[in-house]
Amino acid sequence: MSRKGENIYKRKDGRWEGRYIKARNEQGKIVYGYIYGRQYAQVKKRLAELKVQYSFTHANVNLYKGTVKDWLYHWLNIVMKKRIKQSTYTSYRLRIDKYIIPFLGNKALSQLKNQDVEEFVNYLIQIDLSSATIHSVVMVLKSALKKAHLENYILMNPSLNLEISAKQTNEITALSLADQAKIETVALKEQACSAVILALYTGLRIGEISGLKWTDIDFDKNIIYVKRTLYRIPSLEEKKKTEIILAEPKTKSSKRAIPLAENLKSYLLNKKKMSTSEFVISCKNGYAEPRVISYRFKQIIKEAGVPPIHFHVLRHTFATRCVERGIDIATLSKLLGHASIKLTLDTYTDSLWENRKKAVSVLDEQLRASS
């Protein structure tokens, strides 16, 4: 039941709902906006603010005439395509086509409500998608709706206050020193340059290793420049399932310089003498794409007698060895090409915890000596 003259109602779920006039559509029909809250006073205050706001902005609203599907394709192909890399465009397109359009595509964009978006997220959860996939799909939808709101195509962004559970982070695993030694022994037997050795002693990602050329290594200044990455992505063409992309790293932080240490330098110089390819890791005198590198790695760990692991574990092993030897987190973050120190901290918390325990133990010795 509403409070007299206020358009504030008590919902069955216990929340208060406030309704206000946003605008009128082309047919002159009133378009309402809604706000929700647990406290009546909170909703009343916010409702008053919104009523004032929309009394001045109605004239600027130009409601979008098409569907959610129409807007998503316009947003992706007109607004975003020139701003993002081809791989990013492809991933956005696949999320839109596979998940968003089947559920929300036929709804009028201007009529999309918070409840519609919440039901969509619940649908993603019900079909057992991973937390990371749900976040990535919702991120695309929220970005498109935010742009529509900024352009005054919708009166309120229905995803603005959307809350979804935090992403589940997979446990980071690194090789033990014993298993690392076994793998290195086999990898060093390879006649050509080994992707395993590069990953263990530079921390490069598999796509960065695939795209690394000899010209990216300055043997005079002892620097490895990460200038490109190679990856296979789903193709939007019907005739091809996937396609290879060789491009600059996705972020500025990934495009980086890594110091070349003496032992690795000697190893690479010896392999360069025998190489007939412009790529450091090659296949038939061209690049070795990530799945070729992964296949070779499976053969190596099988020969080494190590349980099956993903190639990315080598990058985690590099980072873990750095932490174990006291490398500061800011330096490690730069070496790994992380976008922020926080990402490095969040990823290698367990390894850093062991270092912190050692540090406290060192100080604790003083207490024992003093007592």
**In CATH, what number is assigned to the domain containing residue 349?**
1.10.443.10
Per-residue model confidence as pLDDT tens digits over 122-180 = 888 888 788 888 999 999 999 999 999 988 888 789 998 887 776 655 567 889 999 99
Within-domain flag for 366 = no
352 touches 319 (CB < 8 A) = no
Instruction: Judge whether residue 46 has pLDDT over 90.
Output: no
Please give the share of the chain, as a percent, with pLDDT higher than 90: 50
**Alpha-carbon distances of 102 from 65, 77, 120, 143, 159, rounded to whole Å:** 19, 19, 10, 18, 18
Which pLDDT belongs to residue 226?
Answer: 96
Within-domain flag for 171 = no
Nearest to 110 by CA among 145, 139, 75, 137: 145
Asked if 184 and 289 sit in the same domain, the reply is yes
322 touches 344 (CB < 8 A) = no
Asked if 56 and 72 sit in the same domain, the reply is no
Asked if 198 and 345 sit in the same domain, the reply is yes
Which pLDDT belongs to residue 232?
Answer: 80
Q: Average pLDDT for residues 243-250, to the nearest whole number? A: 82
246 touches 228 (CB < 8 A) = yes
Please give the share of the chain, as a percent, with pLDDT higher than 70: 85
> Quick one: pLDDT band at residue 74, thresholds 50, 70, 90?
very high
Asked if 17 and 144 sit in the same domain, the reply is no
> Quick one: pLDDT band at residue 356, thresholds 50, 70, 90?
low
Within-domain flag for 107 = yes
Strand partners, 245: 231
> Quick one: pLDDT band at residue 53, thresholds 50, 70, 90?
low
Asked if 305 and 234 sit in the same domain, the reply is yes
User: Using CA atoms, how far apart are residues 4 and 131, in angstroms rounded to an integer?
Assistant: 44
Within-domain flag for 167 = no
Domain containing 127 — which CATH number?
1.10.150.130
Mean pLDDT, rounded, of the chain: 86
User: Using CA atoms, how far apart are residues 227 and 254, in angstroms rounded to an integer?
Assistant: 8
Q: Pick 355 or 105 by higher pLDDT.
A: 105
The beta-strand segments (E) located in the chain are 8-10, 16-24, 30-37, 217-218, 223-225, 229-234, 242-247, 257-259, 282-283, 286-287
Q: How many domains does the chain have?
A: 3
Domain that holds residue 88: 68-150
Q: Phi and psi at residue 310, in whole multiples of 5°? A: -85, 150
Q: Average pLDDT for residues 308-320, to the nearest whole number? A: 93
Instruction: Judge whether residue 293 has pLDDT over 80.
Output: yes
Within-domain flag for 128 = yes
Asked if 56 and 73 sit in the same domain, the reply is no
Tokens 């839109």 -> residue = 96
Instruction: Judge whether residue 103 has pLDDT over 80.
Output: yes
Which one of 42, 60, 78 terminates a domain? 60
Instruction: Judge whether residue 323 has pLDDT over 90.
Output: no
Q: Average pLDDT for residues 331-335, to the nearest whole number? A: 93
Q: Average pLDDT for residues 61-89, to the nearest whole number? A: 90
Asked if 43 and 190 sit in the same domain, the reply is no
Within-domain flag for 229 = yes
Asked if 13 and 141 sit in the same domain, the reply is no
Instruction: Judge whether residue 26 has pLDDT over 80.
Output: no
Asked if 298 and 183 sit in the same domain, the reply is yes
Instruction: Judge whether residue 54 has pLDDT over 70.
Output: no
Tokens 């039941």 -> residue = 1
Asked if 27 and 84 sit in the same domain, the reply is no
Asked if 199 and 293 sit in the same domain, the reply is yes
**DSSP tag of 279:** B
Which pLDDT belongs to residue 34?
Answer: 86
Angle at which helices 313-324 and 329-336 pack, to 10 degrees?
A: 160
Asked if 122 and 227 sit in the same domain, the reply is no
Within-domain flag for 124 = yes
Q: Average pLDDT for residues 77-94, to the nearest whole number? A: 90
Q: Pick 351 or 304 by higher pLDDT.
A: 304
Which pLDDT belongs to residue 221?
Answer: 96
Which one of 131, 150, 169 terminates a domain? 150
The model's pTM? 0.67
Within-domain flag for 94 = yes
